[in-house]
Every structure is written in C-alpha cells, then in structure tokens.
Amino acid sequence: MASLDRKPTLVMGARGNVGRFVLRRLLDGDLPVRASARRPEPGSFPDGVEVFAADLTDPESLRPAFEGAGQVFLYSDRESVGGVVQTACAAGVERLVLLSSGSVIHPGSAGNPITERLRRIEDAYAAAGDVRVVPIRPLVLATNALSWAYLLRATGSLPLYQPDALTAPIHEQDVAAVACAALTGAVTPAVSGLLTGPDRMSQRDQVAAIGRAVGAHMPLKELSRDAALEQFSQFMPSEDAEAVLRFLDDAAAGNSPRACTVRDVLGRPAIGFDRWAADHVDDFR
C-alpha cells in the first residue's frame, strides 16, 4: 500500500461490514487513520485509533472528524450530500471514497428503485463539485448471505426465492481493499469499476458452500414470489423488498455478471465464496 506522509484518513461507518476492513487495512499499512460511528461505544474500535462521533446527516458532527483529514471513506446516504461536501471542502478534505453500488453502472440493473436511489446519490456528489468523489461499486455483497443465518435459526430450514439465480458475490475484504486503493493511491477509472467475486454461483450452491464450511446440512425451501415479498417486507420497506426480488429475477435470467476489477486494481484474483463461508462459520453456528 502506498505510504501516506500526509493527512490521516477518516473511516466512517468503521464498524460496518466493509468499513471495519477499510480501517483494518489502513492500520495494517501503518497509515494514519481516524474512525467514526454515529454513536461510538468504548471498546468497539482497535486500541490507539482516534474515534469520532459523526453522522452524515448532521454536518456539525462531521466538522471535528473532517478537520485535518485528507480523505474520507463513507457510506451512501440520500439526504446528506450537500452538508457532507460543504463540510469536507471547508475542512480541506481532498477525496471522498463513497461506497456506492455496481448496479449504477450495470445496464441490466437500470430502473431498479434501489439502483436509481444510489445513482441519485452519486449524481448529487458529482454535481456538488469542489471535492473529488470516487465511487466504489460492488454489485452483490457476499454479506447478503448473513441474513440466511437468522432465517435458518428461526425456521430450521432456509426459505429462498430463485435458488438457482446466479450471482458473483464479492467478499467485503475485497471491497475494502479496492476502497483502500482509492484512498491511498492514484485514482484510476478501474477503482470505480464493477466489483464482483471471481465466479458466478447459484444461491443453492452458496448455501451448500456455507453448509460445508459449517459441517451441517442446510435444507432449502423454495419460496414463491408472493411469499418472498412477504418475507423480505418484514425486514425492509415493501418498495425495497420488490426491488430486491427484481435483482433476483434478473440474476435468474442470467443478468448478474462477473467482472475482473479486483484483479485489475489489486493484481490478484478476487476471494471466492468458499473462503467467505469459511471466514463466517461463526455467524452460522
């Protein structure tokens, strides 16, 4: 990783699935870092890291965290773009690395409400000007499978919609590694390319990979579209639940690709789903 003899990097959402690995990689590279959460709790960050309470929707809270930082890793939030950009400019932040989504540049996802919401955020950052914004664009996060652990515990089997839909889920550590490349290196178009795992795999095979890692059989129950809509709507607004089903319908129709961006940016292959499952055994026990 390139050395930063310059200002520290602020990692917002540093307890998030991706954010925590952004923080860890920067620390492993001996780079100057700060971490933030909306409500940081003692003991939830590595020793020695300077921690801030910062909420994207509250520009006043951003000021102390941004002051003196050279670059910021942050999550997408609809309402906050103007305040974030203004505060970043006033504080002298040079680069915002925004966790966005590959769906924004994947033609097959155009029109999906989740895609369009994230596109509006990217567009708002681009229109705000004055500070360089670098989007990071994973298409399907492997951590989506963490929701299966809850369903398995709750029902003893895994109710799945479109079990044969093929996607190429990406390990959160690879997303974080590409984000770190964008935070610490020269910004090239490749860092904002479509990010996927190395192989397309059906949901059914992903469950089997988790079962192998855990050493347990995980029985599937195929869900109808109506039943899946009802299930997803328990955890998210029904508009978003419908949007997720549309992503799965597209994947079942063969429209969820794999890409080589991780290799292009990092010079090594993306981490496969078997390794993701092995890394998350404790989440499924």
Ligand X SMILES: NC(=O)c1ccc[n+]([C@@H]2O[C@H](COP(=O)([O-])OP(=O)(O)OC[C@H]3O[C@@H](n4cnc5c(N)ncnc54)[C@H](OP(=O)(O)O)[C@@H]3O)[C@@H](O)[C@H]2O)c1
Binding site for ligand X (CB under 6 A): 12-13, 15-19, 37-38, 55-57, 75-77, 99, 101, 138, 140-141, 143-144
Helix, strand and coil content of the chain, in percent to the nearest 5, comes to 45, 15, 35
Structure tokens at 70: 């050279």
Query: Rounded to an integer, what distance in angstroms lies between the CA atom of residue 39 and that of residue 154?
Result: 29
75 vs 255 by CB, closer to ligand X: 75
Question: How far is the C-alpha of 118 from the C-alpha of 267, rounded, in Å?
Answer: 28
CB of 40 or CB of 211, closer to ligand X = 40
In the complex with ligand X, which residue's Cβ is closer, 55 or 116? 55
User: Phi-psi category of 158—alpha, beta or left, where left has phi over 0 and alpha has psi -120 to 50?
Assistant: beta
Read off the tokens for 150: 């809850």
Q: How far apart are CB 260 and ligand X at their closest, in Å?
A: 18
Which of residues 158 and 195 has its CB atom nearest to ligand X in the complex?
Answer: 195
**What distance in Å separates the CA atoms of residue 280 and residue 285, rounded to the nearest whole number?**
9
Nearer to ligand X, 16 or 163 (CB): 16
Nearer to ligand X, 2 or 146 (CB): 146
Instruction: Please say whether the beta carbons of 136 and 178 come within 8 A.
Output: yes
Q: How far is the CB of 6 from ligand X (least distance, A)?
A: 24
CB of 18 to ligand X, least distance (A): 4
Largest CA distance in the chain: 55
Least distance to ligand X, CB of residue 176, Å = 9
CA distance 260 to 268: 10
Nearest to 245 by CA among 224, 274, 215: 224
Residue 44 Cβ vs ligand X, minimum distance, rounded to whole Å: 8
Cβ at position 28, least distance to ligand X in Å = 18
Taking the C-alpha atoms of residue 15 and residue 76, their distance in angstroms, rounded to an integer, is 15
Q: Which residue has its beta carbon closest to ligand X? A: 16
Q: What b-and-e string marks burial along 113-136, b requiring 16 or more CB atoms within 10 Å of the CB?
A: ebbebbbebbebbeebeebebbbb
Least CB distance to ligand X at residue 220 (A): 20
207: tokens are 């469950």
Report the nearest approach of ligand X to the CB of residue 234 (Å): 17
Q: Which is nearer to ligand X, 31 or 81 (CB)?
A: 81
